[in-house]
Amino acid sequence: MTGLTFELLCMQLLTGIALGSIYALLALGLCLIFGMLNVVNFAHGAFFMVGAFLGVYFLGVTGNFWFSLVLTPLLTGCLGLVTERFLVRPLYGRGLDYPLLLTFGLSYVLIELMRITFGIEGLPSITPDGLKGTVNVGIGYFPKYRLFLIAATALIVLGIWFLIQKTRYGLIIKAGAVDQEIVKVLGVDIAKVWLLVFGLGCAIAGLSGILASPTRSVNPEMGVPILAESFVVTVVGGMGSPVGAVVAGLLVGIVYSMTSLFYPDLAELSIFVLMAVVLLIRPQGLFGKAGAMG
Amino acid sequence: MNSFFQLITQHRVLASTLFLAVFPFIMPYEALAVNILIFGLFAMGFNLLFGYMGLLSFGHAAFLGIGSYLTGISIVHYELGWGTAIIVGVIGAAVGGLIMGFLAIRTRGIYFSMVTLALGQIVYYIFYKAESLTGGENGLRGVRVDSFNIFGIPVDFLNPLIKYYIILFFVVIAMWLISRILNSPLGAVMEAIRENEKRAAACGFDVAKTKLLVFILSAAICGLAGSLRALHLSIVPIDSLNYLQSGQAVMMSILGGMGTFFGPFVGAAVMLYLEDVVTTFTKYWMAVIGLIFMFFVLFFPKGIWGTILSKLQIHQDSK
């Protein structure tokens, strides 16, 4: 292959990490909710899509990217709170399939709501002013926004790590994931913790939506393929493992962008093949515990 | 009333056949009846796995799609007869079920749903990219079957009522097969696995093999639904492979009543009839069905048919 240089490979690697950042965030949100509530949020892609729409809308109205970056996850988080409180909570104790089915129905409603509000065409994505253009990263020019995306993801992941590992709330979340009965006995209102964790997961989904919006087209169906992709990340990383979610997210992003460099037609397929290989060799995922997939 | 329901659950294939024989006359138009017939079969095939064995697959669109595409490709590109084309579609779906099932049954529970959804997307991308054979984004066009001979008798496939009865013929065979499976020892093992997988394994049943076998059977039935759909629509839209299509089978099973014989068909009929009515008022059908579905999950998890049966206290699992 002519023109294939070390620089090009590195640039493609960076692109992969930027894409993988979005995957990592999405999988992290799924993982938080699953680890705590044993619920797979099938509306996660829809929350991502709502986040992208709200982000672009607020950016267009206010012109301030940082403002919408804060407001959007707050709103999708609130939507998550309402969802948990009124739709998911009545289903606890009725079999693991029911919350999954319910959130699947919810994704239909959210897709249609965005179509009604913003039209079926979607919104033109906007790159915030300060982050337009490219910047020399030593080996070539790389889009500024994607660098920002990588940095922002690193910050968010660090923040969540800090929350879980270093604070009292994190202790409760970790304890609740191991044994909710004991946590209840110790005087923690576990229902409130579940509510907040679900909200947090949806807030992260919305945040990844607005972060991803300048790099892809914003339309009501954008959450449909991304849900499948974030499932791939979750399966590769191992269900319920936050480290696995982040590592697998980056890995899947890199595999995608490297394949699209060599065989553009196979890029979408490559990540699913990766998942199939992981299933064959290590069904519990790279960071999952054996037997913890039931 | 009670004994009536008892009777039809005891002779479920006969009762379904009789009902379906008059069904097109109570529908507003035949094409809708054909559609309900095909999606009823799709949901029944899905329900074999979900309702009777407790495995919630979100990848069954793959088998509907494989059936449709292989039948379509056989007719469009290889000019095979419609009968052969259907066989190709069903076998293709069964092989797809073997591969997907082999990977998916390595996981359990919620994990299984996620893996089947992702594996289904592989099939989507394969058919999407194989543009020269499948037409890619535009779908496969020109699956035209106008007329053919059955034992020398010419049949006009463009007549919607005749088309309905020909498709019904295949659906009845499939229903008989499903009923036969459920009444067999295999059916009992399936329900044992649904109720308690560990206990079934402890009783000496090969859980993995049973799961794979039922996965393949379910895939083949969904593939048949796909093949028939290709003949009915004379095009194969790429959307038939999307996981939202898998979700349709899930929705139909829940609306009608999962784990009941006739439930998925009731679900398909209600959903498609509603869609037909609602879309004349509003184009926001997805929101309407999403809300209805959520309502059923929350308040009527047994579905329409399942609720009727349980109100009348009919145990339909034994027969």
Domain that holds residue B232: 9-242
Burial B271-281 (b: 16+ CB within 10 A, else e): bbbebbebeee
Residue B277 is assigned to a structural domain of this protein: no
ipTM value: 0.89
- Cross-chain CB nearest to B114 (options A112, A115, A231): A231
Confidence at B293, pLDDT banded by 50, 70, 90? very high
- The rounded radius of gyration (Å) of the Cα atoms in chain A is 19
Number of domains in chain B: 1
Confidence at A46, pLDDT banded by 50, 70, 90? very high
CATH of the domain at A111: 1.10.3470
Q: In chain B, whose CA is at the least distance from the CA of A268?
A: B125
Residue B1 is assigned to a structural domain of this protein: no
The predicted pLDDT at position B250 comes to: 94
Nearest Cα residue to A228 out of B176, B258, B201, B61: B61
What would the mean pLDDT of A194-221 be, rounded to a whole number?
Answer: 94
Give the C-alpha separation, A83 to A89, whole Å. Answer: 8
- Name the minimum distance, in Å, from the CA of B50 to any CA of chain A: 10
Residue A53 is assigned to a structural domain of this protein: yes
- pLDDT(B316) > 80: no
Size of the A and B interface in Cβ pairs below 8 Å: 120
CA angle A147, A271, B238 (to 5 degrees): 110
What would the mean pLDDT of A176-199 be, rounded to a whole number?
Answer: 88
Using the beta-carbon criterion (under 8 Å), do B286 and A108 form an inter-chain contact?
yes
Alpha helices in chain A (DSSP H): 6-37, 44-62, 65-83, 97-118, 144-166, 168-178, 180-185, 190-212, 223-237, 242-262, 267-281
Mean of all residue pLDDT scores within chain B: 90
Number of domains in chain A: 1
Give the C-alpha separation, B54 to B49, whole Å. Answer: 6
Residue A43 is assigned to a structural domain of this protein: yes
Domain that holds residue A105: 13-281
- pLDDT(A45) > 90: yes
Output DSSP code: residue A203. Answer: H
Residue A32 is assigned to a structural domain of this protein: yes
What would the mean pLDDT of B30-49 be, rounded to a whole number?
Answer: 94
- pLDDT(B317) > 70: no
The predicted pLDDT at position B152 comes to: 67
pLDDT digits (tens, 9 = 90+) for A219-258: 999 999 999 999 999 999 988 888 999 999 999 999 999 9
Residue B259 is assigned to a structural domain of this protein: no
Instruction: Say which residues have a Cβ less than 8 Å from residue B219's Cβ, sequence separation at least 6.
Output: B45, B60, B63, B93, B94, B96, B97, B98, B100, B101
The predicted pLDDT at position B209 comes to: 94
Give the C-alpha separation, A229 to A253, whole Å. Answer: 10
Q: In chain B, whose CA is at the least distance from the CA of A105?
A: B290
Does the CB of A89 have a partner CB in chain B at under 8 Å? no
pLDDT digits (tens, 9 = 90+) for A81-113: 999 999 999 998 888 889 999 999 999 999 999
The predicted pLDDT at position B145 comes to: 78
Range of lowest pLDDT (A155-169, B118-132, B301-315): B301-315
Residue B303 is assigned to a structural domain of this protein: no
The predicted pLDDT at position B81 comes to: 85
What would the mean pLDDT of B100-129 be, rounded to a whole number?
Answer: 91
What would the mean pLDDT of B228-248 be, rounded to a whole number?
Answer: 90
What global pTM score does this model have?
0.91
The 10 Å Cβ neighbour count of residue A90 is 15
Give the C-alpha separation, A92 to B106, whole Å. Answer: 26
